[in-house]
Amino acid sequence: MINLTESAVNAVRTAINGAKDPIVGLRIMVESGGCAGLKYKMDLIATVEPSDLVVEQSGLKVFVDPASVGVLDGTTVDFVINLEGSGFVFDNPQAQSQCSCGKSFG
């Protein structure tokens, strides 16, 4: 359904370990917005929505909003560090178009 690279898993674990409150995992969803129509949203969460799809990878729990499942199916999330900065990058086979920054898609 959704896959995180080793680099993304490590980045999320680092964020979880640095959080001041207990975290159960990472929630990923898609919402309206961005220059291409839809944008990705990621949050560390302390509580689980009962309707979320749960994907466990390398001991990390990823929760996917049920409304986002169809548009995230097959997506790979990576964490990259380059000259322009660092951040999460989405490779989404469901996206028909994408903005130049890679944060939104259509």
pLDDT digits (tens, 9 = 90+) for 30-71: 987 766 578 889 999 999 999 999 999 999 999 999 999 999
pTM: 0.85
Residue 97 in tokens? 């178009």
Whether 25 shows a pLDDT value over 60: the answer reads: yes
DSSP code of residue 98: B
Asked if 105 and 95 touch (Cβ cutoff 8 Å), the reply is yes
